[in-house]
């Protein structure tokens, strides 16, 4: 097991945003996380990435307890994250943005960092845009850049937060192929997504959150077809 969550709980005042969440993910597994708005999905990523600390429970990476580790330490240990709204350094080039990721997690020689950036840019289809300012990129390429910066840290676990949001069908297909290839390479993926057809094209297991609790887990299409999950998304069913 690469990543394990054990009884993770978090409360903001009277609001319980994570309630005894436990699951794990293995090498090369793509795990989807769905749920209605306010279910606690993005909060869960913040707890895994270290931006928030749980009130109770443990986060383990490769068997090591990292619950008290900083976001920087978790990144160095192998956890990378993308955000729902891309956050490029707009006045830096695409290459320079990826270089930030390559140099952030692990000290590298200049040659190793440049070589890594080139490989990541090629892998994400951005090599021809390497010298463009990141702020001038269209949405699909900003999403690719968000992914490229995360990959440049050479993660063992990749957290994707609604990376398909706002894309056309054709653009989604490009992204899905890219994410599938990342999982095949051995990186464990946790993917929050409202574009369910994109998610189902990649993930092999699905976790459903509602009011901070895991309410369903299993084979993706079976989970989405279950009565309980349909009630959560569509309201009471006859």
pLDDT single digits (tens) 173-189? 999 999 999 999 999 99
Mean pLDDT value across residues 204-229: 95
Kindly indicate the confidence band of residue 135, based on its pLDDT and cuts at 50, 70 and 90: very high
Q: How many CB atoms lie within 10 A of CB 167?
A: 18
Measured in whole angstroms, how far is the alpha carbon of residue 144 from the centre of its chain?
13
pLDDT for 43: 96
Mean pLDDT value across residues 216-227: 94
Kindly indicate the confidence band of residue 238, based on its pLDDT and cuts at 50, 70 and 90: very low
Kindly indicate the confidence band of residue 237, based on its pLDDT and cuts at 50, 70 and 90: very low
CATH of residue 204: 3.40.50.300
Question: Containing domain of residue 113, as a range?
Answer: 3-234
Domains identified in the chain, total number: 1
pLDDT for 234: 65
DSSP string, 39-58: SSHHHHHHHHHTSS--SEEE
Tokens of residue 56, six digits: 């109770």
Q: What percent of the chain has pLDDT over 70?
A: 98
93, 117, 163 from 99: Cα distances, Å: 10, 6, 21
Distance CA 224, CA 226 (A): 6
Backbone angles phi, psi at 210, to 5 degrees: -150, 125
11, 127, 129, 235 from 47: Cα distances, Å: 12, 33, 34, 29
């Amino acid at each position: 097991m690469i990543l394990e969550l054990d009884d993770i709980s978090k409360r903001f005042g009277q609001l319980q945003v994570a309630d005894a969440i436990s699951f794990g993910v293995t090498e090369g597994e793509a795990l989807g996380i769905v749920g209605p708005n306010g279910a606690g999905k993005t909060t869960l990523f913040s707890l895994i990435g270290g931006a928030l600390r749980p009130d109770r429970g443990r986060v383990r990476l490769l068997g090591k307890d990292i619950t008290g580790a900083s976001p920087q330490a978790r990144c160095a240990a192998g956890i990378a994250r993308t955000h729902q709204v891309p956050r490029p350094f707009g006045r830096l080039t695409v290459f320079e943005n990826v270089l930030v990721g390559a140099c952030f997690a692990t000290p590298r020689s200049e040659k190793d960092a440049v070589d890594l950036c080139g490989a990541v840019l090629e892998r994400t289809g951005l090599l021809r845009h390497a010298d463009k300012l990141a702020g001038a990129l269209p949405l699909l390429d900003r999403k690719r850049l968000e992914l490229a910066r995360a990959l440049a840290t050479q993660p063992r676990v990749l957290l994707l937060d609604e990376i398909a949001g706002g894309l056309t069908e054709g653009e989604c297909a490009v992204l899905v192929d890219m994410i599938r290839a990342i999982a095949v390479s051995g990186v464990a993926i946790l993917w929050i997504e409202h574009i369910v057809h994109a998610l189902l094209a990649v993930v092999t297991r699905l976790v459903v959150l509602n009011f901070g609790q895991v309410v369903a887990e299993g084979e993706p299409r079976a989970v989405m077809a279950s009565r309980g999950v349909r009630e959560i998304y569509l309201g009471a069913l006859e």
